[in-house]
């Protein structure tokens, strides 16, 4: 299992609920994530990341970084896809 898969399998919100990442490529993420008994308050946008507070271990930070890279990549891909749709002429046969 790679770091991103491990992160997504183990991360919860501050109430112990699995986090729904379905719209993350559109909305980014702003909130508290928990891995076990450790947590980080983070904000992820397309071109920036802010870690407000964290007590994650080095291994958990590796997983967090994989998640951040994935999220930002998905956000950039979504923007590129929308731009292509807006500039493409469609022909129906």
Could you tell me the pTM of the whole model? Answer: 0.61
Residue 84 located in a structural domain: no
H helical segments located in the chain: 3-10, 24-27, 58-87
Per-residue confidence (pLDDT) for residue 1, from 0 to 100? 64
pLDDT at 22 over 80: no
Q: What is the mean pLDDT of residues 30-49?
A: 84
Per-residue confidence (pLDDT) for residue 84, from 0 to 100? 56
- The answer to whether the Cα torsion of 17, 2, 60, 63 is positive or negative is negative
Number of separate domains in the chain: 1
pLDDT at 85 over 60: no
Residue 83 located in a structural domain: no
Residue 21 located in a structural domain: yes
pLDDT at 19 over 60: yes
CA distance 55 to 66: 17
Per-residue confidence (pLDDT) for residue 88, from 0 to 100? 53
Residue 20 located in a structural domain: yes
């Amino acid at each position: 299992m790679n770091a991103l898969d491990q992160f997504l399998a183990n991360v919860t919100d501050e109430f112990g609920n699995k986090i729904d990442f379905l719209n993350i490529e559109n909305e980014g993420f702003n909130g508290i994530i928990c891995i076990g008994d450790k947590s980080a308050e983070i904000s992820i946008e397309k071109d920036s990341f802010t870690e407000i507070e964290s007590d994650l271990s080095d291994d958990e930070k590796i997983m967090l970084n994989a998640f951040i890279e994935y999220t930002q990549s998905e956000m950039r891909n979504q923007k590129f896809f929308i731009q292509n749709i807006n500039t493409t002429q469609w022909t129906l046969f």
